[in-house]
Amino acid sequence: MITAEQKPLKEIIDSISPYEKIFLVGCNECVTVCAAGGRKEVGLLASVLRLHYLKQGRTIEIKEITLERQCDPEYVEELASEIHRTEAVLSMACGCGVQTLAGRYRETPVFPAVNTLFMGASEAQGIWAERCQGCGDCLLGLTGGICPVARCSKHLLNGPCGGTSHGKCEIAPDVDCAWCLIWERLKALGLEKRYEEIMEAKDWRSAGGGGPRKIVRKDLLL
């Protein structure tokens, strides 16, 4: 899942300050699940913005809409009939959604209300942690299901650096050393030998080093 969190209020306010008619658009997918931009957060942010404008003695008209998925043109199309009524769009979706909106409605400025952070998993209620960087060449089969690209601060592929200490990374005491985790997991799986295999230098072109990526499924093309 893509995770995001709301931008600082000041930044959001600054971005929309010239406008008094706003579409505030949420997304019922990833950002709902990570409580950053679903119907609830849309409602809250709308409320906050209205309060801010009230305090300034200004009025703001906010239309709250939460789309099923902001990164699909069909869902984004739902705004078409009403987009002319607004001066700006504030999107609470991830960057994909913001761009889809901006690409569809070229006459209207679209601003992000959240910072898209990472692809992560839910560790517990209210906690999400980075798990994947989308490198395009998955190594998890070699590393006991723990990704060194996403979870090692230095993206090392052949064991920990000297900064590891008692299983923790040197950047912060609450960050696990990915390679310690990998070693423990391989041991538990009886696959210690894997650890000794040298991984060759990674080809980062598939990770975006070769420019923007795209998937084309020819069988699905219409």
Partner 1 sequence: MENFEPEIIAFCCHYCAYTAADMAGSKRLSYPTNVKIIRVPCTGKVDALHIMSAFEKGADGVYVAGCLEGDCHFKNGNTRAAQRVAHVQKILQDLGWDTQRLAMMNMSAGMGEVFARTACEFTEKIKQLGPSPVKQMNTDSYRQTQR
Partner 2 sequence: MQKLKDIEHSETAHTHVLVIGGGVGGIRATLDLAESRRNVILIDSAYSIGGLMTSLDRTFPTNNCDLCTVSPHLSENTRQVYLNLMPMTRLKALTGEAGRFTATLVTEPRYIDMEKCTACGECYKHFPDIVRFTPGLDPRAPTCMRYPQATPYAFSIDMEKMADITALQKICKADAIFPEDRQQIKTVEVASVILSMGAELFDPSGLTHFGAGKFDNVVTGLQYERIMSASGPFEGDLIRVSDKKRPRKVAWIQCVGSRGINKGDVPYCSSVCCMVSLKEAMVTKERFAETIETTIFYMDMRTFGKDYELFLNRAKTDYGIRMIRSRPHTITEDPETKNISITYALEEKALQMTEEFDMVVLSTGFRVPGSSVELARQLGIELNIHDFVKTDPFNSVVTSRPGVYVCGVAQSPKDIPETMVQASAAAGMAASNLTAAVDIPEEDNGFIPEKDVSTQPLRIGVFICDCGLEIGGLLDMDKMVEFAGCQTDVLVSRAVGHGCSSESMNLIEESIRTNDLNRVVIGGCSPRTHETKFQDLLRRAGLNKYLVEIVNLRDQDAWAHLGHPKEALNKAFQLLRAGICGVRKSRPLMDQFLPMNPNALVVGGGVTGMTAALQLADQGIKVYLVEKNSTLGGLAKSIRRTIEGEDVGVFMSRLTDQVSTHKNIMVLANSIIVDHSGVPGRFKTGLQTGPRMNYMQIDHGVTIFATGALPNRPDAYGLGLHENIVTQLELDVLIEDYPEKIKKMTQMVMIQCAGSREPGNPNCSRVCCQAAVKNALRAKTLNPDIEIYVFYRDMRTYGFQEDYYRQARNMGIQFIRFSLENKPEVWVENDRISVFAHDIILDRKIQIETSCLALSTGMTADDETTEDMAMMFHLPRTSDHFFLEDHVKLRPVDMSVRGIFVAGTARSPKNIQESITEAHAAACRAQALLAKKEINLGAAVAKVDSSKCAACLICVRACPFSIPFINEDGYSQIDPAKCQGCGVCVADCPAKAIQLFAYEDDQILAKIEGLLGGLN
Q: Which of 28, 108, 153, 206 binds partner 2 (CB under 8 A)?
A: 28
Q: Rule CB under 8 A: is residue 189 a binding residue for partner 1?
A: no
Identify the residue among 55, 106, 217, 218 touching partner 1 (CB under 8 A): 55
d(CA 3, CA 84): 30
Interface with partner 1 includes 141 (CB under 8 A)? no
Longest dimension (CA), the chain: 69
- Identity of the residue, 59 or 165, whose beta carbon is nearer to partner 2 in the bound complex: 59
d(CA 98, CA 89): 9
Would you give the binding string for partner 2 spanning residues 116-155, x where CB under 8 A is met? ------x--x------------------------------
Contact call for residue 40 and partner 2 (CB under 8 A): yes
Regarding 57 and contact with partner 1 (CB under 8 A), the answer is: yes
For residues 65 and 86, the answer to whether their CB atoms sit within 8 Å is no
Per CB under 8 A, does 63 bind partner 2? no
How far apart, in Å, do the first and last CA atoms of the chain sit?
28
CA angle 17, 19, 25 (to 5 degrees): 95
CA pair distance 142, 145, nearest whole angstrom = 8
Q: Dihedral through CA 182, CA 183, CA 189, CA 191, nearest 10?
A: 110
Of the residues 44, 121, 138, 191, which one makes contact with partner 1 according to CB under 8 A: 44
17 or 47: whose CB is closer to partner 1?
A: 47
Structure-token pair, residue 201: 């230098």
**Where do contacts with partner 2 occur on this chain (CB under 8 A)?**
28-29, 32-33, 35, 38-41, 43, 66, 122, 125
**Where do contacts with partner 1 occur on this chain (CB under 8 A)?**
8-10, 40, 43-44, 47-48, 50-52, 54-59
